[in-house]
Structure 1
Amino acid sequence: MDFTDDVSVFGISAAVLLVVIWIVLMMYLWFPELLPKFLRRRIMPNKGIYRAEALVYQNNGTTEDVIHVCVTSDRSRLGGMLALVNSIHRNTKYPVLFHLIVDEESVQHARNWLEESQLRNIQYELIPFPEEIVEGKIRVRGGRPDLASPLNYARYYLPQLMPTLKGRIIYVDDDCIVQGDIHELYRMKLHPPHLAAFSQDCMGTAKRLTLMKNNYADYIDFKNRHIQDLDFDPNECAFNTGLFVADLNTWRANNITKKLEYWMKLNTKEEVYGNERGGGGSQPPMMIVFYNKYTQIDPNWHIRYLGWTTGTTYTKQFIKHAKLLHWNGRFKPWGGRAQHSDVWEKYFVPDPTKKFKPIRKNV
């Protein structure tokens, strides 16, 4: 074979390679469902968002094919997010698509953690939270400083962060562990005209384990004239926003985000919430907007206050049968002082980059 033949072979090979690249590009643009799984899950479109499989996303939560779960977390709590994801993944028989919202600096860290661990085959998308959305809108007065974290308010913006997603979604705080099949929670009935589902704080174990009465007056300033105009009952039972089930179509139709932002902005100018015993954070605006407009979640699907004290408040037998555990409060299960942290430990996924290391009592 002479030089001319070599050139011809090279030219043909280059042409074939260009055709293959063109075909793959066209498949991604027009028929993404035909791409192999490993390609679909790793392609990164604009703005640094790692999208999950196109076919799964297009189900829009309208069928039982996929369960949409959203978790938000920042760099200091990523280990909690991954443990939660792992617990849901291991305890459900149905496909789950995880929508993971993190601060922009943590996107690559979270992606490496997922791709280099036992969670590499889950369906997920990583969404960087543009913190400028809440700039100038957050003021925490009497609550914990960590409640002012921008990621704490990402739950307000689910429709904007997932603009093409329609239908039902479950939001779960990153300091939770799910031991039940989350499909049960996903298919719960929302009673019209309710806008979402939350867990009440005035009944059962929630009432027994706190020093508060857990009513609206514990979270909201009823001396504020704007609150008085709403004619709310200050003794109305509060609810916890660390877990909720919502329909994004309903959320958009009722302008929920805009209503939440109204109370956020107002609270920066005058006291609407924050100095009460419940503290500030993202919960009070949701309590205002969803007042008497929510369906109650089964209490066994939200066992909380595990982070209020370091002492044991639940028996091991009770914890074993709980479907969702929530370490709300100061003491997190990755911090070394929380109760029943051994349950969380079972689902913790070690960070391959070694940036996140749980603190343990014997360390």
Structure 2
Amino acid sequence: MLPFRLSVVVLFLLVSVLLPPFCLCIRSFRGDGLGLDGLSRFAEAPDYRNGKECPLMKNKESYVSSCDASFIHIAMTLDSEYLRGSMAAVHSVLRHASCPEHVFFHFVSAEFDPASPRVLTQLVRSTFPSLNFKVYIFREDTVINLISSSIRQALENPLNYARNYLGDILDSCVDRVIYLDSDVVVVDDIVKLWETNLTSTRVIGAPEYCHANFTKYFTDPFWSDPVLSRVFSTRNPCYFNTGVMVMDLVKWREGNYRKRIENWMEVQRQKRIYELGSLPPFLLVFAGHVEPIHHRWNQHGLGGDNVRGSCRSLHPGPVSLLHWSGKGKPWVRLDVKKPCEVDRLWEPYDLFIHGKDRQRLGFGSGSGSSTTTTLAGYSGYFL
């Protein structure tokens, strides 16, 4: 019989081989409190429930499977730096959804985040007790050697590239997903975005901005290279923001679009063809082949530019989703008492409890609490 420690190592290696290389996941457990102070930093959200017009839930009291065909699937990243934004985004979706119990969140968390995926999962469950969700652990070594330097260090975070791997990370039964950045709030019923019709040739849908100067997203060496620039010769490319996308994962997997994006990232490592982070490879693969969605679903740029983070106002027209893309984040500007006018639109969805408010409301340090978490899959925490 193998010694216990050696048995554990062998088990870990077997799981690493059998599971996809892009993520590990952890099974449901009942925790006795992980001692993270962040567990008491967020107020519990209201318990949003379905109205009478919503379909009946299947197996409501038992284990909820992500394979339920009635679910609206939303994928987001989950990390300690943008956690406050993620919580506000989830809250906004539930608050405006006509059938909130039919929304299923897929959170992708970094393997080496300062707050472990277990802790982040427990925090989500304590803030949204009735939320349908699953946490996936993104193995950063999947992409770390493909990332090149960007104009802003935050854009080099490996987790920014997790959207490239959703087709591999999420359960194979999930054939469509809405991807949302962590710095958004939804102010409309998410089912309207979910029902976007992707035509037969379209893999993703997103608001397009064809008036933008498309050439600025790539360097002069790219445009002067007759072979590389020819990629756009047969299409009419328009800029689109990857922070809000409807994705057909069946077509994504069949077309191996993950590899197509990686190929361009490898070109970037050899010959610098763009300055931004994870956006340009998406443009190279999809620009000109995107299902256009109404601009109301991505009022982006509210964080200002990528250097100064200056204030910006809303674009004219109706709004269904607000997006603080750019350097400035609303929670940071609100905390330093220098908010932009649009940051007040984010504030009602913020569940963060500041120090004085925590004492007034009777919140402790977060240790000793007992919470049931809903994690699915297999544990990466063997050693």
Whether the TM-score (by the shorter chain) exceeds 0.5 is yes
* Structure 2 SS opposite 1:125: strand
Residue 324 of structure 1 pairs with residue 321 of structure 2? yes
Residue 185 of structure 1 pairs with residue 198 of structure 2? no
In structure 2, relative to structure 1, the CA distance for the partners of 1:49 and 1:133 (3 Å cut) is farther
Kept after mapping to 1: 8 A contact 2:238/2:288 = no
Match of 1:30 in 2: none
Compute the displacement of 1:166 (Å). Answer: 2.8
* Structure 2: gaps (5+ residues): 1-23, 30-59, 354-362, 367-383
- Opposite residue 314 of structure 2, the aligned amino acid is Y
Match of 2:344 in 1: 342
Counterpart of 2:118 (choices 86, 102, 108) is: 108
Residue 75 of structure 1 pairs with residue 80 of structure 2? yes
* Cα distance per residue 1:122-153 (max 9 Å; x no partner): 11111111101012100024x21110000000
More helix by share: 1
* Structure 1 SS opposite 2:177: strand
In structure 2, relative to structure 1, the CA distance for the partners of 1:269 and 1:82 (3 Å cut) is same
User: Following the alignment from structure 1 to structure 2, what is the Cα–Cα distance between the partners of residues 215 and 123?
Assistant: 39
Match of 1:39 in 2: none
Match of 2:104 in 1: 97
User: Following the alignment from structure 1 to structure 2, what is the Cα–Cα distance between the partners of residues 110 and 265?
Assistant: 32
Match of 1:314 in 2: 314
Compute the displacement of 1:93 (Å). Answer: 1.3
User: Following the alignment from structure 1 to structure 2, what is the Cα–Cα distance between the partners of residues 335 and 304?
Assistant: 17
Compute the displacement of 1:291 (Å). Answer: 2.7
- Opposite residue 285 of structure 1, the aligned amino acid is P
Q: Larger radius of gyration, structure 1 or 2?
A: 1
Match of 2:370 in 1: none
* Structure 2 SS opposite 1:263: helix
User: Following the alignment from structure 1 to structure 2, what is the Cα–Cα distance between the partners of residues 224 and 157?
Assistant: 29
- Opposite residue 311 of structure 2, the aligned amino acid is G
- Opposite residue 173 of structure 1, the aligned amino acid is D
Kept after mapping to 2: 8 A contact 1:91/1:178 = yes
In structure 2, relative to structure 1, the CA distance for the partners of 1:328 and 1:49 (3 Å cut) is farther
User: Following the alignment from structure 1 to structure 2, what is the Cα–Cα distance between the partners of residues 127 and 157?
Assistant: 11
Kept after mapping to 1: 8 A contact 2:66/2:174 = no
* Structure 2 SS opposite 1:335: helix
Match of 2:301 in 1: 305
Match of 2:137 in 1: 128
In structure 2, relative to structure 1, the CA distance for the partners of 1:139 and 1:338 (3 Å cut) is farther
* Structure 1: gaps (5+ residues): 1-45, 204-212, 275-279, 356-363
Match of 2:203 in 1: 195
In percent, how many aligned pairs have the same letter? 27
User: Following the alignment from structure 1 to structure 2, what is the Cα–Cα distance between the partners of residues 127 and 322?
Assistant: 31
Task: Choose 130-139 or 301-310, whichever is displaced more.
Answer: 301-310
RMSD of aligned alpha carbons? 2.7
User: Following the alignment from structure 2 to structure 1, what is the Cα–Cα distance between the partners of residues 88 and 327?
Assistant: 18
Kept after mapping to 1: 8 A contact 2:194/2:246 = yes
In structure 2, relative to structure 1, the CA distance for the partners of 1:99 and 1:354 (3 Å cut) is farther
- Opposite residue 141 of structure 2, the aligned amino acid is E
